[in-house]
Structure 1
Amino acid sequence: MFRQFRSAAASALTDALADLGYPTDDLGIEDPPDGVDATLASSVAFRLAGEAGAPPPQVAAEVADAVDAEATEYLERVETSGPYVNFLANDAYLADTVAAAGDDEFGRLPPKDESVVVEHTSANPTGPIHVGRARNPIVGDAVANAIDYAGYDVDRHYYVNDAGRQMAVFTWAYETFDESDLPDVERDKPDYDLVRYYRKGNAFLEEGPEAAVETAEAEIQSIMQGLEAGDEDTYERVSEVVDAVLAGMRGTLARLPAEFDEFVKETRFMRDGSADDLVERLQDLDESVYEEDAWQLDLSAFGIDKKLVFLRSDGTTLYTTRDLAHHEWKFENYDRAVTVIGEDHKLAFDQLRHALELLDHDTDQLEQLFYSWVNLPGGEGMSTRAGTGIDLDDLLDEAIDRAREEVESRMDDRIRDDELAEADVDRIARQVGVGAVRYDIVSKQPAKAITFEWDRALDFEAQSAPYVQYVHARCCGIVDEARDEEPLAEGAIAGDAAVDPATLSTPEERDLVHVIARLPAVIEEAADDLEPHRVATYTREFAETFNAFYRECPVLTADDPATREARLALVVAARNAVANALDVLGIEAPESM
């Protein structure tokens, strides 16, 4: 309802400004100032004061008088508070919001005829995913979820780097060293098992005897050349390592969870001739030069001093070359291509974008979300190659353990004696622990570096996942109790009760309706701007608003049956809204805590 109301308010304001002879290019529509009881506000009077030759409050009053409230379905009236023009929704808005949110799909927007591919994570398959890179799958998954909720046809892709020097080193090391040469495996997963070979190989190349290193380098070069030539045996050798490590990494990602529709391998674009075709077209460009034993693209016309190397003197392509072919494939198959990637790749993506433009592609369909790193207190280094840092599996284990301690500390003796309690504690600990990690990371603006802190992430009383999850559990508890004790409430529980808005008369009830109504608009904005943290901010505001309602508005003990029915319907609406907001963030909504 909020999206419709906002659109109608904008239309009514535009008409009023036009009637008054004012420009309509900037309506200044925003959330009302603190303490103002309105659904929306406009700060347009600030902009118009100079032109009108009058103070903003006077201009606001003039504009408010010119707005035709009766022409807008959900608009009750227009008021002013100082320089602001305030739009207040009517009772039909309240009733229709509760009815719409009774649907458990509330928050999803109508389907759009537009396809989007979201590429995220794409960590090199060289070993376990570490904490520093945890932001990519968490933010990337939330971005894809928001776009999906916004009505787009979404595919989630993981781009697998299986063709570069790293994988050639890994394959050589796996085929060279014995188990006896390696340290004990840290965890029973293939990525932890095989990363020992990768680390051993890198150490040997840095510190081994010169003659042996030269022989190893020749073998590594042979693997790279074999991949470039499309040699099937070489591809199978590399794939044995890549697929095994990737299976382990997928297991870790599934714990978040972050799932993918397709794992697109880099070698695909070498094997099908796409990379070779791309190289020929790049070489034909006026900006293409052969310097320093390599073919390069001069991008100085775009303000980029560093040339883009796309072909080595030995005829091998580079990661960026294959990624250009990858993006051409995306453009052929999708209307939009979104990539979630670390801020250290900004230059590479600028180069890629301008190279695509030189190849006559419309790069407006290409969007990037750059993120900064996740740090732990103490600033541990993160390097798969050297084997330092904290793995994501370790972080998730610790989160679940800490959540279990917190849950057990809140259990009363009756629950402790329940034979089902242990399984329930395990479930809640996993939902809360993993949710805490995801929420703490996705709730921050991606461009800002963050330090993960346990006390903040697992705080049941503050702005955290458990704080929001508990609202959903509380809603479920109320509905379950009503189902057992309130046979008159079947319609409200089913989400199809017709609510008399007159029964929702308290400020807390109406505030809750208003925050529920905003969810579809918040999701739409998060999808359009690639900013999933907006949904996290919404859930915090939602939780605070619901808790105020819960304190002031008894549901099942309300004296009047109509009030009980209306408040129960409101609880069902709140449950659906918070569950789907959490779902966008990729966080489970526990039914009990």
Structure 2
Amino acid sequence: MNLFADIRALTVDALAALAAEGVLPPDLDTANVAVEPPRDPAHGDMATNAAMVLAKPARMKPRDIAEALAPKLAADPRVASAEVAGPGFLNIRLAPTVWQTVVAGVLAQGDGFGRSEMGQGQRVNVEYVSANPTGPLHVGHTRGAVFGDALASLLSYAGYDVTREYYINDAGAQVDVLARSVYLRYLEAHGEAVEFPDGTYPGDYLVAVGQALKDKLGDRYVGKDESVWLADIRDFATDAMMDLIRADLARLGVKMDVFSSEKALYGTGQIEAAIAALDAKGLIYTGTLAPPKGKLPDDWEAREQTLFRSTAYGDDQDRPIRKSDGSWTYFAPDIAYHYDKANRGFDALINVFGADHGGYVKRMKAAVAALTDDKVPLDIKLTQLVKLMKDGEEFKMSKRAGTFVTLADLVELVGPDVTRFIMLTRKNDAPLDFDIDKALEQSKDNPVYYVQYAHARVMSVLRKAAEQGLDVSESALARADLTKLDHAAEHSLAAKLAEWPRLVEIAARTHEPHRVAFYLYDLASNFHALWNRGNDESTLRFLQDDAATSLAKIGLARAVSLVIASGLGILGVEPAQEMR
């Protein structure tokens, strides 16, 4: 049930009728005709841009189209009035029975209300987190994990077949640094005094790894040259870090479907196959790159390299894929990894990167476009930095990690639900100040509390009604006489419920799960406003002396809780049954 889609269909049918009558030209393209909530609720329940977008192709004044369209819309029993405003805006007010039908639809469909089939038959791969396996996840990773997981859930809710994937960067120089750092902790476990040179990882989280290595190998590598132990300890350390990362993700309720290894691409021919595919398209050549813009580095030397012609697909410059010494650049295995994803049959790829990967976006999109002949789109979402705040100042607390606040620290402090919701209160590409005091506050200024409180209030109404002997089962509420919902405030709340299916499709189409968090806050605000009005107007209270009226009003409240639970489910947050 999507009321906005229904009224849009009514509008398109009315336009077709006007064309059949000769009022409008035939075969007008109505693809851009939209029906949406008006900016000012005082103007009506919905508004359509039909007259504005069709004026030019119809060679008519927008107001003339709107005045012809208005009576067609008003003739439908769902429409109370259709009013022309300004140069051609058309504001629509719906009949009260429409809002009662919306509530009935929510109660009938339950958690299915708002689910969409827009993604049916389409497979989407969402890659997120993909942190280097060199330590625990930090607050920046937390934002990417929450955003990626919520986006995957949103797309699944909208009908897509979604795969959640983590790409393990376990083949780069940073993994060698990890191995050397673990070796120092290994020596320390044997009682040796060690110092951590610059560039190594001094965090206490490696103490247990060093001890575990000692428990497994004894003194086998004590005093041995790096060439003897580096490969083995690198594998051991990487596995230990991935266990740590999986545990961190579990704290947030994040579970990946696939973990892909960069190291597994080497020696298998996959990198060579991907580069050969680009070469077959004439996109690989040997050349020299221009020096970096701005100040020329002292050690700059023009070197002949193997390059990918990424400028053919919108990049700013061509990119090296093989160094002058014959080894692959870090970009080459990434090309192969995305080639593998495309070959696995996904219809679309989404990557969630940290803000520091902004310069990587164009080259990666160019590679995927080239490999798939523009058939598999790649959307790269960047998550900006998170600043933890407490008592009005930036908050730093983690010694275990060495230099940063860990995901585990944050979840332990405020809990997974609060962490996830707050991380989605800003668009992914906007910086986020995470105020710990506000996150723990029980007030309207804490959005997760405010939304959870709305759900808990509905649960309390259901419990109280049951204590009074009312049957408030799902089936009983589905049979309630909703014509008793006759107050404008109740209609306003139902109108907000009606926005949910439309909101889901917009958020899924734009890959913006923060829209769900914003919507839930607005829905909770509308619900709390109705609750508070009931303190002064007894007819608006959910429990009335008349059982039939109570069931109708409780049905409205239950509809709110169902939508809140669905939205929180997308965000990965548990709906509260009561507030403590």
TM-score range, shorter chain: 0.7 to 0.9
Instruction: Please point out which of 450, 458, 464 is paired with 2:432.
Output: 450
In the alignment, is residue 574 of structure 1 matched against residue 560 of structure 2? yes
Instruction: Work out whether residues 105 and 576 of structure 1, in 8 Å CA contact, stay in contact via their aligned partners in 2.
Output: no
Give 2:335's match in structure 1, choosing from 324, 328, 347.
324
2:6 partner amino acid: F
Question: How many angstroms does 1:120 deviate by?
Answer: 0.6
**Offset from partner CA, 1:548-572 (integer Å, 9 cap, x none):** 2222354453233221111111111
Mapped pair 1:143 → 2:151: yes
1:46 Cα deviation from its structure 2 partner = 5.2
Q: Percent identity?
A: 29
Partner of 1:411: none
Deviation of 1:578 after TM superposition, in Å, equals 0.5
Tell me the SS of whatever aligns to 1:359. Answer: helix
- Between the two proteins, the alignment pairs up a number of residues equal to 521
Q: Is 1:565 matched with 2:551?
A: yes
CA distance in 2, matches of 1:372, 1:289: 36
Partner of 1:588: 574
**AA paired with 2:404?**
G
Match of 2:300 in 1: none
Instruction: Provide Cα deviations, 1:310-355, integer angstroms capped at 9, x if missing partner.
Output: 2234443233211211111211222221111123323323112223
Q: Give the equivalent residue in structure 2 for 1:295.
A: 306
Name the amino acid aligned to 1:576.
Answer: L
- Where 2:512 maps in the other structure, the secondary structure is coil
Residues in 2 aligned to 1:250 and 1:290: alpha-carbon distance in whole angstroms: 42
Distance of 1:248 and 1:576 partners within structure 2 = 35
Question: Which amino acid in 2 is paired with 1:11?
Answer: V
Q: Report deviation, 1:80.
A: 3.8
Counterparts of 2:83 and 2:408, CA distance in 1: 54
Q: How does 1:202-217 map to 2 (within 5 A)?
A: none
User: Relative to structure 1, is the Cα distance of residues 94 and 273 closer, same or farther in structure 2, using a 3 angstrom cutoff?
Assistant: same
Q: Provide the residue aligned with 1:104 in structure 2.
A: 111
| CA shift for structure 1 position 62 | 3.7
Moved more, 91-100 or 509-518: 91-100
For the pair 1:158 / 2:166, whether they are aligned, the reply is yes
Tell me how far 1:269 sits from its aligned partner: 2.0
**Could you say which residue in structure 2 is the equivalent of 1:395?**
410
Q: Distance in 1 between the 2:476 and 2:106 partners? A: 8
1:170 CA drift (Å): 1.4
Deviation at 1:573, TM superposition (A): 1.1
Write out aligned runs for 1:69-80 (5 A): 69-70=75-76, 74-80=78-84
Farther off after superposition, 322-331 or 276-285: 276-285
Q: Could you tell me how far apart the structure 2 residues matched to 1:380 and 1:273 are?
A: 47
Aligned equivalent of 2:234, options 232, 235, 238: 238
* Partner Cα distance (1:16, 1:66) in 2: 9
The CA deviation at 1:260 is 1.0
Mapped contact 2:271–2:333 kept (Cα < 8 A): yes
Distance 2:236 2:99 in 1: 59
Secondary structure of the residue aligned to 1:27 is coil
Rounded to whole Å, the distance in 2 between the matches of 1:307 and 1:50 is: 42
State the distance in 1 between where 2:160 and 2:469 align. 40
Q: How far did residue 470 of structure 1 move? A: 0.5
- For 1:195 and 1:157, the matched residues in 2 are separated by 29
1:353-398 deviation per Cα after TM superposition (whole angstroms, max 9, x unaligned): 2233333533543222222111234568999999322222222233
Question: Match of 1:529?
Answer: 510
Q: Where does 1:356-435 land on structure 2 (aligned, <5 Å)? A: 356-377=368-389, 387-399=402-414, 430=415, 434-435=416-417
Aligned equivalents of 2:126, 2:74: Cα separation in 1: 43
Q: Does 1:516 pair with 2:497?
A: yes
Q: How does 1:239-278 map to 2 (within 5 A)?
A: 239-278=235-274
Checking the alignment, whether the CA contact within 8 Å between 2:270 and 2:336 is kept in structure 1 is yes
Q: Does the 8 A contact of 2:388 with 2:436 survive in 1?
A: no
Q: Does 1:5 align with 2:16?
A: no
2:529 alignment partner AA: A
| 1:74 Cα deviation after fit | 4.5
Counterpart of 2:89 in structure 1 is 84
Aligned to 1:541: 522
Amino acid at match of 1:78: A
User: Which range is displaced more, 159-168 or 326-335?
Assistant: 326-335
Which AA in structure 2 matches 1:562?
A: A
Tell me the TM-score normalised to structure 1 length: 0.78
**Distance of aligned partners of 1:104 and 1:585 in 2 relative to their CA distance in 1, 3 Å threshold:** same
Q: How does 1:498-517 map to 2 (within 5 A)?
A: 498-517=479-498
Q: Deviations for 1:165-209, whole angstroms, at most 9, x for unmatched residues? A: 11122123323551244699xxxxx995228999xxxxxxxxxxx
Provide closer, same or farther for how the CA distance between residues 278 and 6 of structure 1 changes in structure 2, counting only shifts above 3 A: same
Equivalence for 2:45: 39
Counterpart of 2:23 (choices 20, 23, 41) is 20
| Alpha-carbon separation, structure 1, partners of 2:248 and 2:131 | 12
Over 3 Å counting, the alpha-carbon distance change for 1:100 and 1:46 in structure 2 is: closer
Conservation of the 8 A alpha-carbon contact between 2:455 and 2:575: yes
Summarize deviations over 1:430-449 as a string: whole Å, max 9, x none: 4xxx3333222212111111
Change (3 A) 1:193 1:362: same
In structure 1, the gaps of 5 or more residues are 185-189, 199-214, 224-233, 400-429
| 8 Å Cα contact 1:133/1:373 also seen in 2 | no
Q: Is the CA contact (8 Å cut-off) linking 2:349 and 2:376 kept in structure 1?
A: no
Contact 2:82 2:91 in 1 (8 A): yes
The question of 1:436 aligning with 2:418 is answered yes
Please tell me whether the aligned partners of residues 443 and 532 of structure 1 are also in contact (alpha carbons under 8 angstroms). Answer: no
1: CA distance, partners of 2:508 / 2:234: 37
Task: Judge conservation of contact 1:289–1:298 (CA < 8 Å) in 2.
Answer: no
Separation of aligned partners in 2, 1:332 and 1:52? 45
In the alignment, what sits opposite 1:127?
135
Q: Which residue matches 1:64?
A: 70
Q: 1:12 to 1:96 in 2, by over 3 A?
A: same
Q: Following superposition of structure 1 onto structure 2, how do residues 297-316 of structure 1 map, counting pairs within 5 Å?
A: 297-302=308-313, 304-316=315-327
Determine if contact 1:128/1:384 at 8 Å carries over to the other structure: no
Residue 193 of structure 1: aligned partner: 205
Task: Using the TM superposition, give the Cα deviation of residue 477 of structure 1 relative to its aligned residue in structure 2, in angstroms.
Answer: 1.0
Give the drift of 1:463: 5.5
Alpha-carbon offset, residue 249 of structure 1: 1.7
RMSD: 3.5
- Separation (CA, whole Å) in 1 of partners of 2:431 and 2:476: 42
- Name the structure 1 match of 2:353: 341
Greater mean alpha carbon deviation, residues 309-318 or residues 109-118: 309-318
One-letter identity of the residue aligned with 1:511: S
The answer to whether the Cα contact below 8 Å between 1:435 and 1:466 also exists between their aligned partners in 2 is: no
Residue 486 in 1 paired to residue 490 in 2?
no
Q: Which residue number corresponds to residue 117 of structure 1?
A: 125
